[in-house]
Amino acid sequence: MTPDRRTLFISAFDVCRLIDLVGLSSFMERLSERIRKDFLRWPEFQKSARTANHSPGGVIELMPVSDKSHFSFKYVTGHPQNPLTGLPTIMGLGALSDFHNGWPLMICEMTLLTAIRTAATSVVAAKELANKDARSMAMIGNGAQSEFQILAFFNQLGITRANLFDTDPDATEKLISNLTRVKGLQLVRHDSVASAVANTHIVTTSTADKTRAQILTPEMIEPGMHVNAVGGDCPEKTELHPDILSKSKVFVEFEPQSRIEGEIQQMPPTFPVTELWQVLRGCQPGRTSASEVTVFDSVGFSIEDFSALTLVYELACTHGIGSELDLIPKLSNTKDLYGYLTSALSPGQ
């Protein structure tokens, strides 16, 4: 590839402009398809579990990955108490580089993109694992990611009813206010988890508390359900009772990472799971009967961020979105870094 000597900066507002240009539903569909295609070429990527630094109140993580053309990483935080001080629970930024020479092609916001790529990945999994006639879902946890999850399932899977529950009634009101004008989508408020999940086909859990919770318990699970567990994403943070896992067929993104951070951290090391890419490539079966209970134990993986960053980079270049950063010194003599410094300084400095 021809080296691009620009470094694009894509702000949160720039991402909003790109999404406005292509439409949110179209953007999420394109991202879901990009994620699916990148998972299909899973062996082409250099992968590792993310690096995490934990504090009593949260975690800061780095998520690197590369193929033969590009390297990307995401810096992402998770601090459940942040909203009390006016900060988001999850904050992120990402970088995309030319793998051949290391030049940083783009620095990009990833707070918004993380929510969108999580929903896009949920749909990729559900298309393989949920029953094809699924038309209802429960959304447990109505925070920052909830609207994207519901819209992704509505637009790409044909979900027409969403049962809603959150311990914070204001979060549910926020969700309803944001999605009330979506034609064909029925939003139903519930006063308990059990009520919300009853008689639904898909259950998505997306809660923030960094604790070993059992938000879903075995008696809530009905034959044929697909559970999309996206809230448990670090050690000592879970959402499902372990008996749900033992009685279900469980799918993960990257097993070494999920064993540490996912719902399966509660299970023995030999507990059987299937990585999603194996189902997409036809190496392993997904759902094998209409009555089977499937669980997508999703913690988020770097290939999903790679998909989001490469899509944004292509769209930004096509539509002329973003600004140029003077991030790396452009040297007339690549060995004379000191000369660059002195020539850049004003006389006398």
Active-site residue set:
233
SS3 state at 2? coil
* Residues contacting 236, CB < 8 A, separation 6+: 210, 211, 212
Burial class (CB in 10 A: 0-12, 13-18, 19+), 260: middle
Cα angle 15-17-20, degrees, rounded to a multiple of 5: 110
SS3 state at 186? strand
Cβ pair 112, 12 in contact under 8 A = yes
Cβ pair 93, 110 in contact under 8 A = yes
Enter the DSSP assignment of 237: B
Rounded to whole angstroms, how far apart are CA atoms 133 and 114? 28
Beta-carbon count within 10 A of 5 CB: 10
Cα angle 135-204-287, degrees, rounded to a multiple of 5: 65
CA–CA distances in Å: residue 108 to residues 8, 45, 95, 305: 8, 21, 6, 11
| Beta pairing, strands 226-229 & 294-297 | parallel
User: Could you identify the residue written with the tokens 């999920």?
Assistant: 258
* Residues contacting 62, CB < 8 A, separation 6+: 50, 51, 73, 74, 75
Cβ pair 220, 194 in contact under 8 A = yes
